[in-house]
Amino acid sequence: MKNLVIDIGNTNSKVGIFNQHELIEERVFVDEDSLKSFLQTCQADYLLLASVSKSYDGLLAYTRHIPSTYVLDHTLPLPITNLYATPETLGVDRLAGVCAAHAIFPQSPCLVIDSGTCITYDFINENAEYLGGAISPGLHMRLKAMHTFTARLPLVEITGDIPLVGNSTKSCLQSGAFNGMLAEIDGIIERYKQHNPQLRVILCGGDTHFFENRLKGAIFAVQNLVLKGLNSILLHNVGQ
């Protein structure tokens, strides 16, 4: 059984091709036209579309040759119980992340930390109940905010090793953004562990490489977590 899952983000689209549970191919498309061209020739048995930003309407015409197509929204059945108070507002990437966490650690409470434009924290308990989490500014958003909302602070990037004690305006901005975010993540993990001693912590997202070796305790950095979560949702619906 060949599954195709598509994660449509704000800047690009990620495509995963699975043989049952195994990810056999991953692709990234930076524009919709190239994604449409790929869809026209891609052969699959099942397809799941998920988007955080765009309508699916422009793509569905290119998927008619795929026997079964699903669209991820708050009405689609899930392999977990979603207890979020406003499920229609929940980002599909966050939902996919906790579904993947449940597939990897089905009997454990999990905290999924996605470090990208924003940091999202998403918690699922040992009973496969998704309770919610938190959202805060990501690394580059913090740096950009300090530049945008002040008169003289420059816009800087994170490069190399970041000192704790900055000795220039640039390194002070870098230290504040990076070490502040590091302390935030460590602190939130510790608070979750106080209530869930068996907690599994999964780190994903574009800025994972900055933090995975600097956080306290056992952290699981998982590549393509959202794609794997989308596939678990697709498998759940195919098996319905």
Please choose, from the candidates 70, 78, 108, 107, the residue with its C-alpha nearest in 3D space to the C-alpha of residue 94. Answer: 78
Residues 6+ apart with CB under 8 A from 74: 82, 87, 88, 90
Per DSSP, what are the bridge partners of residue 203? 113, 221
List Cα–Cα distances, 212 to 106, 193, 203, 205, 224, in angstroms.
22, 18, 7, 11, 15
d(CA 205, CA 14): 13
List Cα–Cα distances, 104 to 16, 55, 107, 139, 198, in angstroms.
17, 30, 9, 27, 14
**If you write DSSP's letter for every residue of 18-46 in order, what string do you get?**
EETTEEEEEEEESSHHHHHHHHHH---SE
For residue 11, the tally of other CB atoms under 10 A from its CB is 8
Strands 13-19 and 220-221: unpaired
Of 7, 45, 57, 93, which is the active-site residue? 93
Residues 6+ apart with CB under 8 A from 57: none
207 included as an active-site residue:
no
Catalytically annotated residues: 93
